[in-house]
Structure 1
Amino acid sequence: MAALWGKSAGKAGGSANLLLSHMLDTAAVAEAMWDRYLPQAMRWRLDAVAGDPGKGRRLFAWLCGIHDCGKATPAFQCLDAAGEAAVRRAGLSWDKYAVKGTRWRHDRAGGRILRGLLDGAGWCEEQVSWVWPLVAGHHGVFPTLGQLRPRKEDLQGKGESWKLAQRALVEVFSREVGFWGESPLAGVEPIVVPSRAVQLQLSGFVVMADWIASDERHFTGVSDLAGVSMERARSRAEAAWGRLGLRGGWGALRMPGPEAFGDRFGHGARPSQEMVLDVVRRMDGAGLVIVEAPMGEGKTKTALAAAELLAARCGADGVFVGMPTQATADPMFSQVRSWLGKVEDGVDGQVALLHGKRMFNTEWRALLEGAGEWGQDADDPFSSVGEDEYGLSSHCVDSCQDAERRAPAEWFLGRRRGLLSPFAVGTIDQLLYAATRTKHVMLRMAGLGGKVVVLDEIHAADVYMSQFLLEALWWLGQARVPVVLLSATLPPEQRRRLAAAYVAGMQSAEDHEGLDLAEPQGYPSVTAVWLGRDGIPTVVVESAKSWRDDLRVRVEVLDEPPASGTGAAAHTDAGPQDTAVVDYLKERLVDGGCVLVIRNTVARAQSTFEALREEFGCDVRLLHGRLHAGHRADRTREILDLLGPPTNGTRRPDRLIVVATQLAEQSFDVDADLLITDLAPVDLLLQRIGRLHRHDGVTRPRRLARPTVVVTGVRFDNDRAPRILRASELIYGRYLLLRTAAEVQRAAVADGGGWSIPGQVPELVARIYGTGPVVPEGWAEAEDQARSDWEEEQAGRRADAARFVLTRAGEHGAQTLEGLHFGAHSRVEDGLLEELVRDGDRSVEVVLVRRVGSGLEAVTGRRLGPNGEVAVETLDDVLAGTVRLPAGWTEAAEKELGPLAGWRDHPWLRHSLALVLDEHGCAVLGEARLRYDDRLGLVVSGGRPRR
């Protein structure tokens, strides 16, 4: 034992670190985690597992430190020549020819060794069965029991001497951690088997402790056994913890009083907000809360106030807020920081922004200024470059260099670690990743385990993404993680599935199809589910009156001429039909007014913009996802200033027409006098209608005094099924569009016309997503065919997702983590996590630069170096040129484009694809001609996209 090494001199600061020393270092880090980081809820659970409130901390330290016991084998000890020689001199030997060239992973070796030792110490099988996978899986993948066996017994070490050394290592380690008695290992045995979800979270904390203790900058080698002790390890761990600047979140949060809402948000709670908070106060413990309310009702504030209540009751140490897109995550980041600053001083700087393009967020970058954040961003597929096997990065600097650091510790900002930050805001993808059968998934689940999880706009998750969302809810339910879900428009069946998944997790069941979930009788509404003291689900469904009166929205249909031509024009349905919109607006805008036009494709938006621009001149704006980052940010900011809440001080224009794509569908706080929109499924159509007459106190032109939505992209043909834009059908499917079209037609021709919004929202969504008859008799055959196609597609997408979800079918009842990763598809190993949880056509972003004469410049006109070199003050100008290509050109971009020569050593640009435009803003990619127009954005013509 005195010679067994754990870290070679090359990985321990120049002197080998004995195996016992590294194990004690890890245990000491675990103690620091327990005292200063671990959520109160996890401490409660581990105390229960240990059977004694005073024993949970020791058990946690032991579980973390024991992880590397598998290094006490010839398979590992032969990997370093100097270490091997020392071990042989100490009297431990092996047949080098039997061991040479045959690898046996030390994590799996540890699982095998520990199983034998625990069994010999008298542990019962059910306790042995959940502990050994924590060791065998600490490098990110949980093997099956059969995978622990080495190909050759020599790898584990033959003879009594090796068995004695392995037993002595584990027993001495156990005594140092604090387990005494005649048989220290027997004294470690837990009393209660934790749930599988808690095991997974615990495994993540084991990995976290190991990674911190493996940092040679803070844990240099100790090669003399006389210098190894738990006391010295604790001193090293304390120093490392301080230098890394690691910290937890709220700790023990006090239960907020009824005045808290006003203190946090500057005004009293509305009736719907008070309804939700009242229900949350009545919950016995962790549970699922689903809030459904119209746009502008204040759901986000409700969720944050509810999160504070749930955290105080359930011992949660922080919060994760997940948004549907990066664009919606950025403003939420600011809102969460503001709220946290009012909950507790100093925690607003501990919020991590988690999405792949956070470097574009000026608030995030300002927080990190001078702090030396790693070059790669959260879950970037290339971010493992420069990291070692413990996730450590050569770019990382100690947080102590910035004593007043206003951002999470550097350590939390590396790949896979973002959710371990005490507070986090990001895309919903961050949560979905935690439900995938991917390497180191335990780190993500550990990060979620001590938080309240808030997910906004959950209706945006399609059937493929929903499989990961349901899986995540199952695990969060079993882990007793409080979850708050927000939606403006949620189909009843989707609500039931979400609640059933969480309840199934709480009861460790495969599913909970029999969950009795009543429909809300009003809108806004709250649905809350938790386990009562008797273990039976308690369900509360309540509703309240909206703070605003219903709007009677008139529904009209604008008949457009069909698209003409072939090729790209026909595919995008762009062309002469725009004249119908122009003529309509010429009549309606005689007295002025502000109009939002939403098109379902970029090409259609560009075409409509050009037609309107010709008629209305500079009163027309264009916003879509194919603008480069600089233009998109500037236009979004301008539109929000012009059409945002009237309290922002900006004068509302007399006339303005905004043409946009689905970007205007969610988290876009603008007020339009009139809405023109392509047909979309009813829930999304209602989301768009939420931009109509949104704000009070706005003076509107007489002709636009009544809120009106004009639906385009559909042409009714007497009693036959309508013609719907092919592009819309490709995006949303024909089935839901047909049913929505029937509802639109009915509303457009009804006496008095229209819908009562938001009061009628639940009814409309339930009807379209239900199975009852909706379409006219003459459409029935078309609807039947569309439904058949839709169901086949939905089933296929569910099956595609099933290959990658964390738990294989039929295994939710498993009791341990053994074999959790068995059967993982190779696709989960390539780092492209966004592709894993979103099944749309893959697309890539490129950075536009212009060639002017013999030089290069950014899209802003700032000059770059001869090979594209970027100065510090020029970086924002270069990043402003980022734009996403249409999905069909991804393969060509990855084949033909790469970083500029001057970017290859830049931490943020070295993996960026540069698209060099000529002086006219044009470039060729594959068979396509690309042109960037400062008004239209990226325009693609010619060639045929590959799909």
Structure 2
Amino acid sequence: MAVLWGKSAGKAGGRANLLLQHLFDTAAVAELIWDHYLAPSVRQMLDGIAGAGGGRRLFAWLCGIHDFGKATPAFQHMDAAGAARVLASGLTWDQRTVERYRWRHDRAGGVLMRRYLTEVGWLKDSIGWVWPLIAGHHGLFPTLGKAREPERARGQLSGKAAGWDMARRALLDAFTRAVGFDDVAEAEPLGSPSRAVQLQLSGFVVMADWIASDQRHFEGVDDFEQVSLQGARARAEKAWGRLGLRGGWGELREPDGNIFQRRFGDDPRPSQAMVVDVVRRMEAPGLVVVEAPMGEGKTKSALVAAEILAARWGTDGVFVGMPTQATCDPMFTNVRSWVEAISPSLASQVALLHGKRMFNKQWQDLLEDPAPDDRFIGVAEDEFGLADPYAMSGGSCCSEAVAERHVPAEWFLGAKRGLLSPIVVGTIDQLLFAATRTKHVMLRMAGLAGKVVILDEVHAADVYMSQFLVEGLRWLGQAQVPVVLLSATLPPTQRRELVAAYLAGATDHEGTDASMAHAVPEPTGYPNVTAVWSTGASIGHLVESCRSWRENLQVGVEVLPEPVSSPASTDGGVHAGDAQVLSLLRERLAEGGCALVIRNTVLRAQDTFNVLRAEFGDEVRLLHGRLSASDRADRTEECLRALGPPQQQGSGRPARRIVVATQLAEQSFDVDADLLVTDLAPMDLLLQRIGRTHRHSGVHRPGPVSEPRVIVTGFLPRDDAPPELSGAAEAIYGRYLLLRTAAKVCAAEGGRWSIPEQVPELVADVYGPDQYSVPGNWAEDERQARADWETRQRARAESAEPFLLTRAGEHTRRTLEGLHSGGVSQGLSEEHHQAVVRDGDRSVEVVLVRRDDRGFRALSGRSLGPQGEASRDVLEDVLGGTVRLPARLTEAAESDLGPLDGWRGHPWLRYSLALPLDASGAARLGDFVLRYDSLLGLVVTEPRR
């Protein structure tokens, strides 16, 4: 035991770290995680499993014993210096066998611990859930069969020579006694945590191991006389402080009735008071679904609800998931303000998690360069090639140099660790990733342990994304993590599915049991809140409704017919649909006013912008997803300043303004237009778009646009047949929902919709099970479209199954054994992850640069070095040229593009794909010609056929 090494000299600061010392180091880190990081709810749960308040000791033991499998010839032979010391002690092996066969130390540790724990009398159930924590600490949970020693080397890799078994027993006994148990038998837990809690616990094991593997803070101890838990505790304390690690708010007192006034300076609206009342009456942690109109204040309701849930059930932080990167940024500001009201020092612990956070001005201002000694030095790979992404990879925060006093510790912001930050604002993808069967998924689930999870605009999740959302809710329900879902409105079937998923996890039931959700009443009014929970003995629910805080808007509905089946153009080459929109806006904005025009595709938005700009000039703005990161951020900010809430407007509302946008305008885009012109979209999305009109009171609106009105175009109604629909729109949304929405729009033409009063009714009519909710002469078309839609929905749902964290029929398994069996790629990039959870064709981002006779320049025009080198002061300009390509160009981009030579050593740019533009601003990629226009953004010219 005294000579077994755990870290080679090359991985431990120049001196080998003995195995027992590394186990002590990891246990000491685990004690600090318990004391300063774990939520009270997690500690309470572990205390219950360990018995008599012994959770801390059990937690340290579980984390520390993770590398037990290194006490084998399969591992000890891998470093020449370490192997020589072991061999000199009399522990031997057959060199040819250990070099020919591999037995990973994580798997070896799990298998060997099964044997020793059985011998000391541990119960089968206890052994069953503990051994996978050891076998899976490098990110993948094997089956027992896959974990066993290779048959042809059986006994050789574990050590047949006398002394190996004795050495392992001595190691286990010494470690166990040092941690505080009399013997290994006493370490047995009294109960078994749920599978979800096991997964979270596994993530904490990995967390402790990664911190204890930081060679800057845990230099090797190669003298056995100096090995001690006391010494490990001293250096763990020092490392913890230098890394700046900490948890969330700890224990909160339940806020009193004036909470809204104290947090936001306002009294609660009726819907907000309703949410607070329901959350206070819940009998256990559970799921809360809030449905309320746009602008109702759902976010504030959710934050106060999170505070109450945290105080009642011992959670220690929050994850706020938003539908897009753009919607994360304003939420980041709001959450920081809310957290600062709870505890001023805690505002520094709010992390922003999305790929474009470097363009968030507030995040930029919070970053500072730490001293070199404060950087986290991880382990790029485990001993001798057993890869483990300890170190921060390209695009991670190692290069962002985060200062502790302004933002969460840099360690939290590395690859796969973001959710471990105490308080997080990020895209919903962060949660969806936690529901995928990918390597190190336990770190993501550990990041959700002891938090309240808030997910905004969940109606935006389509049937494919919903599979991951449902899977995530199952695991969160089983782990008793409180969840708050926000939506303008949900189709009843979607609400029931989400409720059933959470309850299936909370009650440990297989799959989503529809009967559970059907037992929960449907809301009878709007806004409404649905809360469900399980006490173990029974399922509880509360369903409440109330009136909205403001009067219903009577929104006029008009149809602007557009011939979409042929590219009809006017004599001037302008598409007929754009000409119609131009004529309409010329009339309606004659006295001024602000209009929002929403198109369903980027190309359509660009064409419309060109036509309108020729007439209205600089009064027109364009916003879509193929603008450079810098241009998109600037234009979004400009739109919000001009058309946002009156108190946030800079120089006042413009006399006339037209914003042409794509679906970006549907979600958390707080602009207030006087008039909306929109392409046809499914009813829930159409209502989201309507929510951008007449949004705020006290706004002067010229006479022709003084009343709220929506003009729906992009389709052609016909008297004797179903309408002609845009092929592009059908490709995005499907024919079935567009037909049913078109029927409701045509029926309402010339009349009004009462918003928000009619929102649930309109959504239910389109998404409901009733057939033939269209005119009689559309019925056959609707029947066929419905059949096609149902087939496609089933196919899309089934296509998600290979990526889901749990395979069908395995939700009631009791342990983590084999969780990753048959899983997807172990090392997915963020782009691959997004493609996995969003069912899109995978797309990539490129950084646009200009190239001419003088060399390279950023898209903004600033000069770079001869090989594209980017100094610190020009880096923001370079990254500001980032733009996402259409999915059809992904293969060509990955094949033909790479970083500039001057970027290859840069921490942010070395993995970036550069797309050089010539002097005319164009480039060829595959068969396509790409051009970046300062007004239009990225323009893609299709190849000629």
Regarding TM over 0.5, the answer is yes
How far is 1:655 from its partner?
1.4
**After the TM superposition, which of the residue ranges 819-828 and 694-703 deviates more from structure 2?**
819-828
Distance across 2 between alignment mates of 1:661 and 1:347: 37
* 1:779-818 deviation line (CA, Å, top 9, x unaligned): 1111111111111111111111100100010000000001
What SS does structure 2 have at the residue aligned with 1:60?
helix
C-alpha distance in 2 between matches for 1:646 and 1:744:
31
2:680–2:715 contact (8 Å) kept in structure 1: yes
The DSSP-based 3-state class of the residue aligned with 1:577 is helix
Question: Is the contact between residue 374 and residue 413 of structure 1 (CA under 8 Å) also seen in structure 2?
Answer: no
Alignment of 1:125-274 (within 5 A): 125-151=124-150, 152-153=153-154, 154-180=156-182, 184-274=183-273
Match of 1:756 in 2: 754
Question: Does the CA-based 8 Å contact 2:645-2:671 persist in structure 1?
Answer: yes
> For 2:594, what is the secondary structure of its paired residue?
strand
Whether the 8 Å CA contact 2:321–2:431 is kept in 1: the answer is yes
**Matched ranges for 1:476-625 at <5 A:** 476-510=476-510, 511-515=512-516, 516-532=519-535, 535-562=537-564, 564-565=566-567, 575-625=575-625
Of the structure 1 ranges 913-922 and 332-341, higher mean CA displacement relative to structure 2 is found in 913-922
User: Are the aligned partners of 2:398 and 2:414 in contact in 1 as well (CA < 8 Å)?
Assistant: no
Contact 1:39 1:450 in 2 (8 A): yes
Deviation at 1:763, TM superposition (A): 0.7
Q: Equivalent residues in 2 for 1:424-823 (5 A)?
A: 424-510=424-510, 511-515=512-516, 516-532=519-535, 535-562=537-564, 564-565=566-567, 575-649=575-649, 650-749=651-750, 753-772=751-770, 773-823=772-822
Correspondence for 2:281: 282
Identity over the aligned pairs, expressed in percent?
A: 63
By how many angstroms is 1:277 displaced?
0.4
Q: Is the 8 A contact 2:254 2:312 kept in 1?
A: yes
CA contact under 8 A between 1:373 and 1:410: conserved in structure 2?
no
Contact 2:51 2:189 in 1 (8 A): yes
Q: Is the CA contact (8 Å cut-off) linking 1:245 and 1:398 kept in structure 2?
A: no
- 6-15 or 122-131: which moved more? 6-15
SS of 2:32's equivalent in the other structure is helix
Question: Equivalent residue for 1:907?
Answer: 907
Looking at structure 1, the residues matched to 308 and 392 of structure 2 have their Cα atoms a distance apart, in angstroms, of: 37
Q: Deviations over 1:156-201 (max 9, x none)?
A: 1115522111111111110000001xxx011001111111111110
C-alpha distance in 2, partners of 1:394/1:850?
A: 27
- Tell me how far 1:247 sits from its aligned partner: 0.6
The corresponding residue for 1:938 is 938
- Asked if 2 retains the 8 angstrom alpha-carbon contact of 1:606 and 1:936, the reply is yes
Other-structure match for 2:892: 892
| Alpha carbons 1:450, 1:481 under 8 Å: kept | yes
> Which region of structure 1 is more displaced relative to structure 2, 545-554 or 359-368?
359-368
The answer to whether the 8 A contact 1:489-1:683 is kept is yes
Residues 626 and 884 in structure 1, CA contact (< 8 A), matched pair in contact too = yes
User: Residue 372 and residue 658 in structure 1: after superposition, are their counterparts in 2 closer, same or farther (change >3 A)?
Assistant: farther
The residue identity in structure 1 corresponding to 2:230 is: E
* Residue aligned with 1:514, SS: helix
| 3-state secondary structure, aligned to 1:711 | strand
Cα offset, 1:905, TM superposition: 1.5
Shift of 1:494: 0.4
CA distance in 2 between counterparts of 1:387 and 1:37 reads 29
CA distance in 1, matches of 2:870, 2:456: 37
- The C-alpha deviation readout for 1:796-848, integer Å capped at 9, x for no partner, is 11111100100010000000001000111337656621121111122111112
Equivalent residue number for residue 369 of structure 1: 368
Consecutive unaligned residues in structure 2, runs of 5 or more: none
For residues 228-251 of structure 1, the C-alpha deviation after alignment (integer angstroms, 9 at most, x for no partner) is: 111111111111111111111111
Q: Any idea what SS the aligned residue of 2:924 has?
A: strand
Task: Give CA deviations for 1:192-214 in whole Å, capped at 9, x if unaligned.
Answer: 11111111100000011111111
SS in 2 for 1:268: coil
Q: Distance in 2 between matches of 1:602 and 1:727?
A: 11
CA distance in 2, matches of 1:374, 1:775: 69
Is the CA contact (8 Å cut-off) linking 1:111 and 1:135 kept in structure 2? yes
Partner secondary structure for residue 257 of structure 2 = coil
* 2:939 alignment partner, SS class: strand
Q: Shift of residue 393 of structure 1?
A: 4.2
Amino acid of the structure 1 residue aligned with 2:305: A
1:637-688: CA deviation from partner (whole Å, max 9, x where unpaired)? 1111111111225321221111111111111111111100000000000000
Tell me, yes or no, if the aligned pair for 1:310 and 1:452 is still in contact at 8 Å: yes
3-state SS of the aligned residue for 1:755?
Answer: strand
Q: Would you say how many aligned residue pairs link Structure 1 and Structure 2? A: 926
**CA apart distance, 1:617:** 2.1
Deviations 1:353-386 (A, max 9, x none): 1112222222112212224899999xxx99xxx9
Kindly state the Cα deviation for residue 77 of structure 1 after the two structures are TM-superposed.
0.8
- State the distance in 1 between where 2:607 and 2:828 align: 41
Q: Is the 8 A contact 1:50 1:191 kept in 2?
A: yes
The residue identity in structure 1 corresponding to 2:843 is S
CA shift, 1:390, in A, is 5.7
Measure the CA separation in 2 of the matches of 1:828 and 1:721.
Answer: 48
Aligned partner letter, 1:548: R
Q: Please tell me whether the aligned partners of residues 640 and 671 of structure 2 are also in contact (alpha carbons under 8 angstroms).
A: yes
Aligned to 2:66: 67
Deviation at 1:296, TM superposition (A): 0.5
Moved more, 256-265 or 107-116: 256-265
User: Unaligned stretches of 5+ in structure 1?
Assistant: none
What TM-score, normalized to structure 1? Answer: 0.95
Deviation at 1:97, TM superposition (A): 2.4
Give me the whole-angstrom Cα distance separating, in 1, the residues matched to 2:892 and 2:471.
35
* TM-score, scaled relative to structure 2: 0.95
What is the CA distance between 1:919 and its match in structure 2? Answer: 2.2
Contact conserved, 1:594 with 1:657, CA < 8 A, in 2? yes
8 Å contact from structure 1 (residues 739, 774) kept in 2: yes
Distance 1:697 1:742, change over 3 A: same
SS in 2 for 1:155: coil
**Correspondence list, 1:111-130, <5 A:** 111-130=110-129
Report the 3-state secondary structure (helix = DSSP H, G, I; strand = E; otherwise coil) of the residue aligned with 1:425.
strand
Counterpart residue type for residue 483 of structure 2: V
Q: Secondary structure at the match of 2:723?
A: strand
Amino acid at match of 1:909: L
Distance of aligned partners of 1:57 and 1:390 in 2 relative to their CA distance in 1, 3 Å threshold: farther
Structure 1 position 856, deviation (Å)? 2.4
How far apart are the structure 1 equivalents of 2:663 and 2:402?
41
Q: Deviations over 1:46-89 (max 9, x none)?
A: 10001111x11100000001111111111111111111121122
* Structure 1 residues 654 and 398: alpha-carbon distance in aligned structure 2, compared to 1, 3 A threshold: closer
Q: Which amino acid aligns with 2:256?
A: G
CA contact (8 A) 1:597 1:658 kept: yes
Structure 2 match to 1:413: 413
Aligned residue identity for 1:527: T
